[in-house]
Structure 1
Amino acid sequence: MLTEKILKRPIVSFIILSNIIFWPLFSLVGAAKLLGFPSIVFDIMLCISSWSSTFAFAILFKRIYKGQNFVKYVKDKFKDKIKPSIIISAVIIEVMIFIGLIFIVKAKSNEGCSIFSVTSFGMFVYLFFKNLLAGPTGEELGWRGFALNELQKKYSPLKSALILGLWWGLWHIPIMLTVGLTGINLIKYIACFMTSIISLSIIMTVFYNLNKNLLVTIIIHQLSNFLIGIINVKLTDIIMYYALLYFSAAVILIAVKHKRVFKEEYFGRYF
């Protein structure tokens, strides 16, 4: 019986397959919107498309880690004891970014206009769990649980975060092309989106390296997606503010934590 060969470039294969799966799935999301399907159908399909990186990793798993068990691998990514100080620190950063965003939006919005898009507690809860079941739980196993770990076997944590952030951002291209922007506005949106997501990748790398449990990055991802989703502001403006705030947070973390979590020697202790 023929056995599958071990992949020579697993990260490249993972990124390519993630896109191959994501594009058609996201096309179905767009089709559901155009055909006027109920919003719950649209949301379910959007959540499914968000899991494309996990689907890709699961498909490639046996060719990346020959002889290993996928379920055990997943469990291992959550086995390390959660450090409350790390979670609290990560949440504080997300909350501070959110507060900074509110101050900026409030200063630039017309008096009397609500800056929040959520008008009821039920909708608040619905959006929270819709976001949780999409990117945070659907993406993190592939991007951080696999790709980040593999990159850090070869590169420093900072370089790994930058590489991963770039490809993670480009994976979102189908979403960028459906926001209804064209010309210079679309270029500005893409530039700000890439800045914010690469900065977020750096922040996630810091906290993931401090506490090797994938729940850490899921929490950060959830707060990032959910909090921006409840702000009622022009898309190009909010992504620009977010890019500025996340970039600032990433620069501060690099400056403060450089010796501890961004040097190659530090992460080398995990392998």
Structure 2
Amino acid sequence: MKREKKLKKPVASFILLTNIIFLPLFLLVGAIKMLGFPAWVFDVMLCISAWSSTFAFGALFKKIYPGQSFIQFVKDKFKNKLKFSEILTVSMIQAFIFLMILFFVSNNSEADSIFTKSSWGMLIYFFFKNLLSGPLGEEIGWRGFAQIELQKKHSPLKASIILGFWWGIWHLPIWFTTGYVGIDLIKYILFFMISILSTTIIMTAFYNLNQNLIVPIIIHQFFNFFIGIINENLVDLIMYNAFFYSVVAVLIIVINPKKVLYGKEDTNIINGKHSMI
């Protein structure tokens, strides 16, 4: 039996293939919107496009981890017992950020309502649509694989910055569908990238503390969900998020709980276990 060669640059291959898969899917989503298809068709295709990183990782899996099972790999990412204290901490941090943004929006907004959803039904639908089209579709590839793979060569903090940059660049097609041009587009991209990099650092710290993929999924879900239900100019919302999430990221870098981000005892997570370097 011919043995498959292992990829020399698995993360780079993953990022490249993720973008190759995402672009045509995203263009299809745009075409569905322009052609006036029902909203549910648009939502389904949007969810499918968000899973491009999982599709890419699945396609490359046998060349990255020869002889291993993709299904078992995914199961292993959820097998460690969740630590309630860490779930509570990340939830409280993001709830606090949400309330602070609401405070600023309520003082500055001229809109009739500060929320985009007018009923519990719409709110619940948006919650689960957001969960399927973002966190569940993206985290298996970006955090479950790429973050951990980068940590084999770099400190978790450096790996976060590298991955956060490329995760942000993956969103590039979306930037040009916002309708912004000129200085507004530049501001949107700048604040977006700060938000992404900051959130990636936060995800990495808490993921490494708990080693369960549910943690970054929760962080990702709250980030998207909270920003999606506030009725405010998107540039302003991204700006508020960039500020508050960057403050939290800096505090975590300074505190460096259990040395999960850097230091003489950098914690690299390899195959679900800690190794000291």
Specify the TM-score bucket, using the shorter chain as the normaliser: over 0.9
CA distance in 1, matches of 2:242, 2:249: 10
Deviation at 1:2, TM superposition (A): 4.5
1:117 and 2:116 correspond:
yes
Instruction: Report deviation, 1:266.
Output: 3.4
Per-residue CA deviation, residues 11-47 of structure 1 (Å, 9 max, x unaligned), is 0000000000000000000001000111111111000
Q: Give the Cα separation in 1 of the matches to 2:239 and 2:262.
A: 30
Return the TM-score normalized by structure 1: 0.97
* Aligned-partner Cα distance in 1 for 2:16–2:4: 19
Q: Given residue 102 of structure 2, which amino acid in structure 1 is its aligned partner?
A: I
Which runs of no fewer than 5 residues in structure 1 stay unpaired? none
Please state whether the residue corresponding to 1:270 is helix, strand or coil.
Answer: strand
- Same amino acid, percent of matched pairs: 59
C-alpha change, 1:197 and 1:189, in structure 2 (3 Å) is: same
Q: Match of 1:61, as an amino acid?
A: F
Please report the RMSD computed on the Cα atoms of aligned residues, expressed in angstroms.
1.3
Distance (whole Å) between structure 2 residues aligned to residue 105 and residue 248 of structure 1: 19
- Cα distance between partner residues in 1 of 2:257 and 2:152: 18
| Unaligned stretches of 5+ residues in structure 2 | none
**Which aligned pairs between 1:18-37 and structure 2 lie closer than 5 A?**
18-37=18-37
- Residue 89, structure 1, aligned to residue 89, structure 2: yes
1:203 alignment partner AA: I
Query: How much has 1:4 moved relative to structure 2?
Result: 2.9
Once residues 99 and 151 of structure 1 are traced to their aligned partners in structure 2, the CA distance between those partners, rounded to angstroms, is 34
Question: Pairwise mapping of residues 170-249 of structure 1 onto structure 2 (< 5 A)?
Answer: 170-249=169-248
Give the Cα separation in 1 of the matches to 2:199 and 2:58.
24
- Return the alpha-carbon distance in structure 1 between the equivalents of residues 256 and 95 of structure 2: 19
User: Is the 8 Å Cα contact of residues 7 and 64 (structure 2) preserved in structure 1?
Assistant: yes
- 1:270 is aligned with what amino acid? H
Partner residue, 1:256: 255
Runs ≥4 residues deviating over 4 A: none
- Structure-1 residue corresponding to 2:127: 128
| Distance in 2 separating the partners of 1:208 and 1:9 | 23
1:270 to 267, 270, 274: 274
Q: May I ask how many residue pairs the two structures share in their alignment?
A: 270
- In 2, Cα distance between the equivalents of 1:257 and 1:100? 24
Give the Cα–Cα distance (whole angstroms) in 1 for the partners of residues 230 and 100 of structure 2: 12
The letter for the 2-side match of 1:27 is: L
Q: Please name the residue that 1:107 is paired with.
A: 107
3-state SS of 2:205 partner: helix
More helix by share: 1
In 1, Cα distance between equivalents of 2:258 and 2:119: 45
Q: 1:71 matched to which residue of 2?
A: 71
C-alpha distance in 1 between matches for 2:274 and 2:257 = 17
Please state whether the residue corresponding to 1:115 is helix, strand or coil: coil
Q: How much does 1:114 deviate?
A: 1.1
